[in-house]
Amino acid sequence: MTRIKKIGVLTSGGDAPGMNAAIRAVTRTAIYNELEVIGIRHGYKGLIEENFKQLKSHSVSDIIQRGGTILKTARCHEFKTSQGRKQAYENLKKNNIDGVVVIGGDGTFTGARIFNEEYDIPFVGVPGTIDNDIYGTDYTIGYDTALNTVAEAVDKIRDTASAHNRLFFIEVMGKESGFIALRSGIACGAEAILIPEIKNQLASLKSQLEDGFKRKKSSNIIIVAEGEEEGGAFQIADKVKKDFKDYSVRVTVLGHIQRGGSPTSFDRVSASRLGYAAVEALCDDQKSSMVGIQHDKIALVPFRKAVKLHKEISKEMLEIANILSI
Query: pLDDT at position 149, please?
Result: 97
User: What pLDDT shows up at residue 213?
Assistant: 64
Q: Are residues 246 and 124 in the same domain?
A: no
Rg of the chain over Cα atoms, rounded to whole angstroms, equals 22
Residues 188 and 204 in one domain: yes
pLDDT at 1: 44
User: Is the per-residue pLDDT at 69 higher than 50?
Assistant: yes
Assigned domain for 10 exists? yes
For the chain, what is the mean pLDDT? 93
CATH code for the domain of 69: 3.40.50.450
Q: Within a domain: residue 326?
A: no
| One domain for residues 52 and 75 | yes
pLDDT at residue number 161:
77
For the stretch 97-155, pLDDT in tens is 999 999 999 999 999 999 999 999 999 999 999 999 999 999 999 999 999 999 999 99
Candidates 41, 23, 22; CA nearest to 141 is: 22
Query: 144 an active-site residue?
Result: no
Q: What mean pLDDT comes out for the span 161-168?
A: 78
Whether residue 249 sits in one domain with residue 132: no
Domain residue limits at 148 = 144-259
Whether 69 contacts 20, CB under 8 Å: yes
pTM above 0.85, yes or no: yes
Contact 276, 25 (CB under 8 A): yes
Residue 1 inside a domain? The answer is: no
Asked whether residue 165 falls in the same domain as residue 54, the answer is no
| pLDDT higher at 218 or 125 | 125
Q: Do residue 232 and residue 84 come from a single domain?
A: no
Give the pLDDT band (50/70/90) at residue 162. Answer: confident
| Cα torsion through 120, 124, 129, 134, rounded to 10 | 90
Q: Which of 15, 131, 133, 144 is catalytic?
A: 131
Residue 315: inside a domain, yes or no?
no
Residue 148: inside a domain, yes or no? yes
pLDDT higher than threshold 90 for residue 318 = yes
* Residue 58 shares a structural domain with residue 33: yes
For residues 30 and 160, membership in a common domain is answered with no
**Are 133 and 197 within one domain?**
no
Confidence band, pLDDT 50/70/90 cuts, at residue 217? low
- Total structural domains in the chain? 2
CA 35, CA 156: separation in Å to the nearest integer? 48
